[in-house]
Chains A and B, each alone.
Chain A
Amino acid sequence: MHLFELSFIAAVLLAATPVLYASLAGAISAQVGVFNIALEGQMLWGAFAAVVGSFYTGSAWAGVLIAVISTAVFSITLAVGAAWWKADPIVIAIGVNLFALGITGFLMRVLFDVSGSFSPRGLVGLEKMRFLADIPVIGPIFAGQTLLVPLALVLIVAVGLWLKFTPRGLRLRGVGEHPDAAASLGINVSRYQFWVTIAAGALCGFAGAQLSLGNVTVFTENMTAGRGWIAVAAVMLVAGRPLWLPLACLGFGAAEALGFRLQGIGAPQQLTDAAPYAITILVLVATRIRLPARFRRRSLRPTPSTESIS
């Protein structure tokens, strides 16, 4: 029973890690007032870039690096549009998601002449941390995982504390809380928004790399399969506060991991497909009822033109 539980925790972490990175990306974007729903497309690009990088260099870590850098570059459209040009980030993101879906499928066909999925012989995946295997508790949980899994948790805690306790973090939050007030104190609002959106892109690169080189070693068309949207849901769930993200993401990861087990005993897959979305909407409804009115203002709001009805 003990082993079963630890292996279940490992499965939950594995399922949650790409969403952890992507939701951290969404959370920091939310903190500067950019409503980022391009996570799905950026993660998909990251997954593709990681496989391409690993394939051509023969090194999985080079693949990760290429994924992170190229996804940061990939997010320039959103960053420039939302931060400098004051365009609607939602519309840009819808376009970015479609573009990512198209361009990854297109390049897969053009570069490798395959469609559907790409896993050539010799594609190197990320190494698992086998050296941990003998340590009790930590071993069974982390030995089968890549280094990117604990890194996600470390990054989330670091970013969360940084936002909370450093002057720059405070300024960053101020940018999202009240851009005009922040600007009047001499903070360059657009610059914060720009660089945070680029950083969010880099994080989505990590998410994609973990997905295509960590969880499996293959790229398949549309392999993110809604994980970016689950990340958006997680960001909504925690109102953009990074330190709460592990709770939300591990919850979703548990639903997904539990789903695999339920399928084993014949429960329909559709039930578990819908679970994260149903949980999120129920929790959103429930928390909005319970939270006192003054907290409601702290909730996320899209840009004024698409602000929720209130």
Chain B
Amino acid sequence: MSAPAELPTDQAPRPSWREHPVARVAGIAVRHPAVIPLGAVIVAVLIGGVIIVAAGLDPITAYAAVISGALDPDSLDYTFSVWAFICGMALAAAIPLRMGEFNLGGNGQLVLGGLAAALVAGQLDLPAILSVPVALIAAAVLAGSFGAISAPLATKFNIPIIISTLLLSPIAIALVSYLVRFQLGEEGSAVAQTERFPDEAQMWSIGNLSYTNVGLVVIVLLMIAFWLVDSRTAVGFELRVVGANRRFGSYGGVRVGRLAIGAMAASGAVAGIVGAIIVLSSPYRLIDGALLSPGYTFAGLAAALLAGGRPALIPVTAILFTVLQVGGASMERSADVPRQLSDVLQGVVIIVLALRTVIESRRSGGKGAA
């Protein structure tokens, strides 16, 4: 090894400062599993603060407004419903993430679920006890089979799941937008939306809450189901084995193709159910673009990444993005900080998480696991 140290190559020798006692202690402190997510959030909040200061505004007021806006007792009902939707989309992202795949087609699956629910609620005259379950199942089937297409595209045609979900999503969005605008739309309405669903077809309410309804219970049940499958069943184990090392998985007898179909179908189905719940809740219509504008898909993806795909952590990480989402509007109102800052912070959290491999490589003592 005569290569001088100033010319680092891919296999550069480990810098000597890592052997320093201070670095060692820091290395041990950094090993705690909560360090990385918490660090990502803190870094994002700090960077957001710098941006707010640079814009000549007051970060303390802004962040206080975010938190008080999200936790305002009067709007807590609304906050909880947003939390449920973000949890749902995080779940949709986390299932394929467990096997190392990205589902970037959440938007398309979301609107297809909304479409299926709108068709059942608006076109079929089912009794109240049947209408909601049938709508949810229809949404799960339609969006789930749409999501499942990506699995054979990957196994048979060598198109990565991330690419096929990405390419299929705009097609679904365009289709639903076309149907709402030209086929299912309410006559004489200036907005492209379906007619208001009859009372029997609306999502069952909890008490007299106007936003949070039984949909939240459905999403919580889905999260529990995923947690059980992930931690207690062979399928969940196979999913994680394939995520850790695909070739090892198939060598060990996991039928990767079938597993991928199942995972992508489940992922799409969850996204579809979220879409159905949104559509069946107030204002009880399928409105063109309304499912996508809040950005639940990417907030959910961010929450899933922050949780490392671990089902038990998703409800916690989803809180952060719910607070950002709901509090963003009140930050704009009371602190005059544009709510686009929420997107900025989401982006920073994801970037910091992605760069975490530096820390992880230090943990394992080897070079970064790409």
Contact = CB atoms under 8 A, between A and B. Distances in A.
**B interface: dominant SS:** helix
Interface in A221-246: 226, 229, 232-233, 236
Contact of B351 (A99, A188, A277): A99
Contacts of A81: 351, 354-355
Contact of B344 (A88, A92, A99): A99
A274 B175 contact: yes
Contacts of B342: 102
Contacts of B338: 105-106, 109-110, 115
B343 interface: yes
Interface string B136-171: 000000000000000101110111111110111011
| Interface magnitude class on chain A | 35 or more
Given A87-B368, A305-B370, A189 B10 contact: yes
B346 interface: yes
A91 B343 contact: no
A197 interface: no
A92 B178 contact: no
Contacts of B355: 81, 85, 87, 92
A95 interface: yes
Contacts of A236: 159, 163
Interface in B13-71: 51, 55-57
B109 interface: no
Contact of B350 (A91, A281, A285, A304): A91
Contacts of A273: 170, 174, 177
Interface stretch (A64-72, A140-148, A294-302): A294-302
Contacts of A189: 9-10
Given A90-B102, A229-B166, A308-B159, A183 B10 contact: yes
B91 to A, nearest CB: 17
A309 B369 contact: no
Given A88-B357, A91-B353, A281 B340 contact: no
Interface in B152-200: 153-155, 157-164, 166-168, 170-171, 174-175, 177-178, 181-182
Interface in B288-341: 298, 301-302, 305, 338, 340-341
B351 A92 contact: yes
A86 B358 CA distance: 8
B351 A281 contact: no
Interface in A153-191: 179, 183, 188-190
A310 B298 CA distance: 27
Nearest to A236: B163
A51 to B, nearest CB: 16
B9 A188 contact: yes
B220 interface: no
Nearest to A183: B10
A88 B351 CA distance: 10
A216 interface: no
Interface residues of B, number: 69
Contact of B174 (A97, A100, A270): A270
Given A86-B357, A190-B10, A307-B246, A302 B347 contact: no
Nearest to B168: A281
A304 B370 contact: yes
Contacts of A303: 370
A280 interface: yes
A296 B55 contact: no
Contact of A102 (B153, B157, B346): B346
A155 B142 CA distance: 44
Nearest to B259: A309
- B168, B348, B356, B370 interface centre (most CB from chain A within 10 Å): B370
B358 A87 contact: yes
A109 B340 contact: yes
Contact of B343 (A101, A274, A300): A101
Contacts of A307: 100, 160, 246
A226 B170 contact: yes
A94 interface: yes
A288 interface: yes
Contacts of A211: none
25 contacts: A85-B358, A86-B357, A91-B350, A94-B301, A95-B349, A95-B352, A98-B347, A101-B343, A102-B345, A103-B347, A105-B340, A106-B55, A110-B56, A183-B9, A188-B10, A189-B10, A233-B163, A233-B167, A271-B174, A271-B178, A274-B175, A281-B168, A302-B160, A309-B256, A310-B154
Interface of B: 7-11, 51, 55-57, 100-102, 104, 151, 153-155, 157-164, 166-168, 170-171, 174-175, 177-178, 181-182, 246, 256-257, 260, 298, 301-302, 305, 338, 340-358, 361, 367-370
9 smallest beta-carbon distances between A and B, as pairs: A102-B343, A99-B347, A95-B350, A86-B368, A102-B344, A98-B347, A105-B340, A95-B351, A274-B174
Given A85-B358, A98-B298, 9 more contacts: A87-B370, A95-B350, A98-B346, A99-B346, A102-B340, A106-B340, A284-B163, A288-B158, A308-B159
